[in-house]
Structure 1
């Protein structure tokens, strides 16, 4: 049995009990190599919360073997869709039961406010599990007509097999659900590698996997450093598919490793520098609300963040005034205060990176009209920051930082929006319906929001174009990433003599 820690919850007398070992075969275990442990921080205070076991490559081998055994014996095609649905729904029920505990743990480890984690991330995660539980017994094959009276061809959707899943630190619970739910629904087994920065909720969720009644080896959790666990999953001959969410640079490495090993199936949800266009016909109050949400939600640590805001020159000054006022109302503060709209950024590395780019933006001549000053309190705090007069060549980055530029014509707006190697998301605001159709069609992004921003639904596919990824998550499209279609050709009658 691996170690357990008890973490104190601020503003209450409660504690949260978390296992800190590896979760393999439904048990929490130490590393076979007894490697150094990973330090886990509270970004609100910059203090260490605890340490967790770091998996070695040998531990990855053990976890993959457990997943393979389960796939061949107690899961995969050995369990009906009805039973998979029942267990996934049970897991959703347990998460709903423990959503306050999970939200508090997410706040401690990630910095996300408890209310945001509970009502949005965890609420959507429960919905995601229930959505895919509904699919588990509805996976259909086809009967295909062929040119012979005594033959038939049918297709069977089958689970790919053992899936390595690598999730990021910005949505630790939600990304866990996005990966786990469709894989379990079709019958795959899982080796989950959470971010080394935010491993605690994945470990807590592993407890619920066991409590729900999933057989040993169906879900395994291996906290580790990225160059160990993630790399080992990408090259592992026993892994049939790898799903990764994170940076484009790391995504390339995952895809290269998968190609060089066993040509395993790969899906990648990668980064973005998403454009958000405000046309002169837009409802300016509404557009400003969505623009603030689009870049400040999750403290800007969002791959779809609308960090490149372009405003038509005829309304630029008026809109910027409204925008600045709304951004100043956004509360970034104590995550255990139910009124907080955002928390700190997740780590010192992220904090230093954001501030370096804020300072660079000032040096390059952008005009900082909101924020841009450091707090003196402990923790990795970055307040809402807005730069205006931003030119396309300026380098301002990921975080609660919005860059605002101008455009004159519709075509210029489209060109500015598409002038990027990324294509994850984009948004536009206009009351001209014809313009909405033209521009949404022209934008090179996997998701386009019209008169809204950053709103996703479990039944609508999500994914990127260009260097923002391969494959889709959510909706029925998310199932396809975990399915291998088998074609069966059946001769049930005539014996045909070959002419050779």
Structure 2
């Protein structure tokens, strides 16, 4: 690729397009071709400080003075602009992180609804008048924004993860500094341009790009930051949680998963096979809710695995820009190597490789970072392949005897993000979700999300919730106001 073909981006701080303070930059490559296609600013502490101060000034200035209804109208404008530029955003996202263009069309096409939903909620955040038990006293509550929020997002669904944080946080009246993954920064900068075009006051949404240790850490540590919302690895979440705790910052952490997709003998097997495929091979398994542990009742285990292997074997691997492709490349080189390492670990542990089990080769993959859809049977839940998040197209099939054993296996995990249940038994469909220690349970479906429904997990899968009214509450603090209507002051030495 010639130098003139490489797109040069600038960061967005305080309503202006700027380079990193020291002029630093880095290149970003396409996962499919491995060619450099864009140059991204490499921000550091000085840039983080500038962005946070801009966000703080906007909160105390024009943004903080807007009515909630006016904030909502600005969010509606962003929704319209995203809809207008959807195909452009889809192409950039697919180029930058290698996700299927069909998947990205679904994601980006859905994003306007997030801003319309949360924009509509902006002026419906209501306090309450409390029937307080004190005579001659009027008491009411209000909900106020936390302040400056930092959003740090992962590379697997860059725009969706950013909007999950921005939409509810802006509806609640906060301002933001967004730091996307260094692997997938371009779409966040394109999104910033739409906020600018929509007429958001300078400093309300700022985007800084770079590496975690260089700009992410200074953002989390900054004394003017009130909240950090993070999607990423468990280790990254631990560091952020520990740092934020020193200043008692609010946090939302959406971390890893090792979700159990449970198939009972009475399930519609054709639908369950498709659900299992969706749970692990869609998005090349690069999703926190991946149903990477497939629990299958013993009575149907062999038949189900045969059906599953037959279906997965036909998956079309290749160029993510083609509508016909079903499995795309792994987004980053480190992740590609990690997936292949886990496949070798599974083989060494004694798991039986029924499909795949190696890097994909052939003309359809070119020089891209591809791993064949891989299915292991003969897996016990104690194996590393069943306990640790692979974040790739690798499925572990684990047999179970009955409901009690299925629950025990599913809950025997450090994570608790999601679970799937496949059954035609109404009693089981109602009873099982109560027994699973996960934040999301799908019954006879998998990998569905909505801006209306809370998203988040138990245990090491994270803290807090995104989406729905629960997400707005994550960006608010409550104030209680007491007004005396008495003509006399109470005894000052006695609590009222």
TM-score, structure 2 normalization: 0.95
- Residues 1:391 and 2:384 are matched in the alignment: no
Whether the 8 Å contact between 1:19 and 1:203 is mirrored in structure 2 is no
Q: How does 1:284-363 map to 2 (within 5 A)?
A: 284-363=269-348
CA RMSD of aligned residues (A): 1.4
Q: Is the 8 A contact 1:42 1:108 kept in 2?
A: yes
* 2:469 is the counterpart of 1:451: no
Native 8 Å contact 2:329 2:370 kept in 1: yes
Aligned to 1:12: none
Deviation at 1:259, TM superposition (A): 1.1
Displacement after TM superposition at 1:496 (Å): 1.9
Aligned mate of 1:214, from 186, 200, 216: 200
Q: CA deviation at 1:499?
A: 5.4
Deviation digits for residues 27-53 of structure 1, max 9, x if unmatched?
110111223x22211000122222211
Given the superposition, is the C-alpha separation of residues 250 and 499 from structure 1 closer, same or farther in structure 2, using an over 3 Å criterion?
Answer: closer
Q: CA deviation at 1:315?
A: 0.3
String of CA shifts for 1:472-491, please: whole Å, max 9, x gaps. 00000000110011111112
1:67, CA displacement in angstroms?
A: 0.2
Partner residue of 2:250? Answer: 265
CA distance in 1, matches of 2:77, 2:5: 26
Task: State the SS of the aligned residue for 1:227.
Answer: helix
Return the offset for 1:124: 2.3
Match for residue 159 of structure 1 among 145, 148, 152: 145
Q: Secondary structure at the match of 1:49?
A: strand
For 1:389 and 1:357, the matched residues in 2 are separated by 16
Query: Secondary structure at the residue paired with 1:69?
Result: helix
Q: Deviations over 1:62-101 (max 9, x none)?
A: 000000000000113x111111111111001111101110
Partner of 2:94: 107
The whole-number CA distance in structure 1 between the counterparts of 2:316 and 2:117 is 33
Instruction: Give deviations 1:170-209, integer Å, cap 9, x for gaps.
Output: 0001001101100111110000010000000001111111
Distance in 2 separating the partners of 1:392 and 1:254: 30
Correspondence for 1:169: 155
Q: Which residue of 1 aligns with 2:402?
A: 409
- 2:259 and 2:418 in contact (8 A); partners too: yes
SS in 2 for 1:137: helix
Q: Give CA deviations for 1:357-410 in whole Å, capped at 9, x if unaligned.
A: 112222222222222232343011112111111122223322011111111121
Query: In structure 2, how many angstroms separate the alpha carbons of the residues matched to 1:209 and 1:269?
Result: 25
Q: How does 1:459-478 map to 2 (within 5 A)?
A: 459-478=452-471
1:183-194 equivalences under 5 Å are 183-194=169-180
Aligned to 1:28: 17
Instruction: Give the paired residue count.
Output: 483
Cα distance in 2, alignment partners of residues 193 and 406 from structure 1: 42
Separation in 2, partners of 1:66, 1:269: 26
Q: 3-state SS of the aligned residue for 2:429?
A: helix
Q: Secondary structure at the match of 1:136?
A: helix
Q: Which residue of 2 aligns with 1:178?
A: 164
1:419 partnered with 2:412? yes
User: Which stretches of structure 1, 4 residues or more, deviate above 6 A after TM superposition?
Assistant: none
8 Å CA contact 1:425, 1:464 repeated in 2: yes
Q: Distance in 2 between matches of 1:34 and 1:19?
A: 12
Are 1:126 and 2:112 an aligned pair?
Answer: yes
Shift of 1:159: 0.7
Q: Is the 8 A contact 1:116 1:341 kept in 2?
A: no
Q: Distance in 2 between matches of 1:434 and 1:221?
A: 49
CA distance in 2, matches of 1:332, 1:7: 27
What secondary structure, in the 3-state scheme, does the structure 1 residue paired with 2:189 have?
A: helix
* CA distance in structure 1 between the aligned counterparts of 2:259 and 2:391, rounded to whole angstroms: 10
Residue in 2 that maps onto 1:92: 79
* Contact 1:125-1:178 at 8 Å conserved across structures: no
Deviates further, 308-317 or 329-338: 329-338
Q: 2:393 aligns with which of 393, 396, 400?
A: 400
**How far has the Cα of 1:444 moved from its partner?**
0.6
Q: Tell me, in whole angstroms, the C-alpha distance in 2 between the residues paired with 1:379 and 1:422.
A: 31
Q: Against the structure 1 CA distance between its residues 474 and 499, is the aligned structure 2 distance closer, same or farther, given a 3 Å change threshold?
A: closer
Q: 1-side partners of 2:356 and 2:242: how far apart?
A: 40
**Maintained 8 Å contact 1:244/1:251:** yes
Aligned mates of 1:499, 1:128 — CA distance in 2: 51
Q: Contact 1:164–1:242 (CA<8 Å) still a contact in 2?
A: yes
Q: 1:327 to 1:242 in 2, by over 3 A?
A: same
CA shift at 1:332, angstroms? Answer: 2.6
Decide whether aligned partners of structure 1 residues 313 and 205 sit closer, same or farther in structure 2, where only a CA change above 3 A counts: same
**Partner of residue 264, structure 2:** 279
Superposed displacement of residue 19, structure 1? 5.5
